[in-house]
Structure 1
Amino acid sequence: MSSFSLKIIAIIAMTLDHWNIILGGSIYMRILGRLAFPIFSFLIGEGYRHTRNKKNYFLKIFFYSVLLQIPVFLFYSSNEDLNIFFTLATGILFISILENNKMNKLTKFLLVLFLVIGSEYFKFDYGAYGVLSIVIFYNFRERKQKIFWLFLFINIVYIYLDRVFLIQIFSLFSLFLIFKYNGKEGIKNSFISIIQLIYCCYIY
């Protein structure tokens, strides 16, 4: 399964989930929606791994996060959660810190600890759970069993901390799709990519 196919599945799942919240409906749509974020977490790491300019990749995601948040602050409330692109950008930053060979271990530890705590304190969408998911998928992409157990672990921890998070356990089913990834990009078209991005921004 290509990254394009995974992206389409994630977008469909996300759309059904969000429309279900707005219109009200079946719990099954909410469950289906749990597939979206883990797939996006996996794909953001793959994008980072294959990009030629990692700095620009991070800055692009961060730019989207700020751009999307401005209308939320203007028309809703400054107390709203920060959008998912902040989570994705933080996950990328976390990975870049881990891969920086110029930093000592203590500095790395303090920086990633700050990112994890900050993602909760500033109310990023999915918070530390989201950031850690990105790191797990990226760091252990060749070790499927380890991904399964670590992803299961953070889900259990968050369910224990907040029972509202219980439905997120169904996100484990996304692993069946992610593990089918063949390392190929699939359909590559700049226009389609732009449409996908605009649509994702609109939905979020």
Structure 2
Amino acid sequence: MEKKGYFSGSTLKWIAIITMFMDHSAKLLYVPQSLINTFTPGMATFYTALIKVFDVFLVLGRLAFPLFCFLLVQGFIHTSNIKKYFIRLFVFALISEVPYDMAFRLSYFSLEKQNVFFTLLIGLVVLIGLKKFEERTPLNLLISLGIIGLGIFTAEFLQTDYGGWIGILMISVLYLLRDYPLVQSLAGCGVILQNSIAGMFSFLFIYFYNGKRGRQWKYLFYWFYPLHLLLLLFIQQQLLLPYVRSILTAIP
């Protein structure tokens, strides 16, 4: 029996963007309960409730990355210009690095960890290599394994978000098993289990992908990623932290 598809590429992208925003909101706007207890009663009640919401956000946030990997694979399969696709990812990897480092490393530039665009960029290069050696021969199989291994090593060495053993392996699996949706989803679940159980549920959406692009906002995700980090960083640094500092300095 042929599976039914319910979700377009556009729908999957919105789910990924929203859940990513939830995840980053919870991480960047989190305040320990010990500090919340020093807030004014009304604010303490509000933020205690908000922390519970953030706990849900962190779980839902695990859905985002597998969806972005799947969308990368679909973009690679259907793009008419792989060079422009590569350049787009590379440019936004550079644009996003400062907001990413400011948000998660409190520095304008850090080599400690790189943003997710670098993971997707390395994944795209791996896909280009896998397509080149797609013919099923023993030699091509060895070369393909080498390409995947090199991609994993590069992502781990550069310490990109989700790294090689999750990010690059996920992208590779989703591409190689693209003609077998059920096996693809099960294999993807196995990969994401390295990160979380909740991430497995993203494959319910992936399995029921209908093969259609849906309405496209071409640069939506590209610009949303750095801009939402800057927005959350502004709230954290200009609104939340000053309030926390004012409370702490008022304590005798």
Does the TM-score normalized on the shorter chain lie above 0.5? yes
Partner residue of 2:227? 202
Unaligned runs of 5+ in 1: 159-164
Contact 2:133 2:143 in 1 (8 A): no
CA distance in 2, matches of 1:127, 1:196: 20
Corresponding residue to 1:142 among 179, 202, 225: 179
Corresponding residue to 1:126 among 162, 165, 173: 162
Summarize the alignment of residues 63-74 of structure 1 with structure 2, pairs less than 5 Å apart: 63-70=91-98, 72=101
Do the aligned partners of residues 196 and 118 (structure 1) sit closer, same or farther apart at CA in structure 2, a change above 3 Å counting? closer
Summarize the alignment of residues 107-126 of structure 1 with structure 2, pairs less than 5 Å apart: 107-126=143-162
Give CA-to-partner distance per residue, 1:119-158, whole Å, 9 cap, x none.
11110100011111112122212312322332233234x3
Do the aligned partners of residues 65 and 120 (structure 1) sit closer, same or farther apart at CA in structure 2, a change above 3 Å counting? same
Return the letter of the residue paired with 1:199.
Answer: F
CA distance in 1, matches of 2:221, 2:86: 18
Contact 2:152 2:168 in 1 (8 A): yes
Q: Secondary structure at the match of 2:113?
A: coil
Give CA-to-partner distance per residue, 1:163-199, whole Å, 9 cap, x none.
xx4xx221100011111211111113xxx43344311
TM-superposed CA distance for 1:117, in Å, is 1.0
Corresponding residue to 1:42 among 53, 56, 70: 70
Contact 2:26 2:58 in 1 (8 A): yes
Return the letter of the residue paired with 1:133.
Answer: M
Return the letter of the residue paired with 1:96.
Answer: I
Q: Secondary structure at the match of 1:183?
A: coil
Corresponding residue to 1:30 among 58, 76, 90: 58
TM-superposed CA distance for 1:110, in Å, is 3.4
State whether structure 2 residue 179 is matched by structure 1 residue 151. no
TM-superposed CA distance for 1:108, in Å, is 4.2
CA distance in 2, matches of 1:119, 1:42: 18
Contact 2:148 2:169 in 1 (8 A): no
* Deviating more after overlay: 15-24 vs 118-127: 15-24
TM-superposed CA distance for 1:3, in Å, is 0.7
Partner residue of 1:14? 20
Do the aligned partners of residues 144 and 195 (structure 1) sit closer, same or farther apart at CA in structure 2, a change above 3 Å counting? closer
CA distance in 2, matches of 1:102, 1:34: 31
Matched-pair identity in %: 31
CA distance in 2, matches of 1:131, 1:186: 26
Return the letter of the residue paired with 1:201.
Answer: P
CA distance in 1, matches of 2:185, 2:91: 31
TM-superposed CA distance for 1:52, in Å, is 0.7
Partner residue of 2:110? 78
TM-superposed CA distance for 1:44, in Å, is 0.8
Corresponding residue to 1:5 among 11, 28, 35: 11
Do the aligned partners of residues 77 and 64 (structure 1) sit closer, same or farther apart at CA in structure 2, a change above 3 Å counting? closer
Do the aligned partners of residues 186 and 102 (structure 1) sit closer, same or farther apart at CA in structure 2, a change above 3 Å counting? closer
Summarize the alignment of residues 168-179 of structure 1 with structure 2, pairs less than 5 Å apart: 168-179=196-207
Query: TM (normalized to structure 2)?
Result: 0.68
Unaligned runs of 5+ in 2: 1-6, 31-50, 230-252
Return the letter of the residue paired with 1:110.
Answer: G
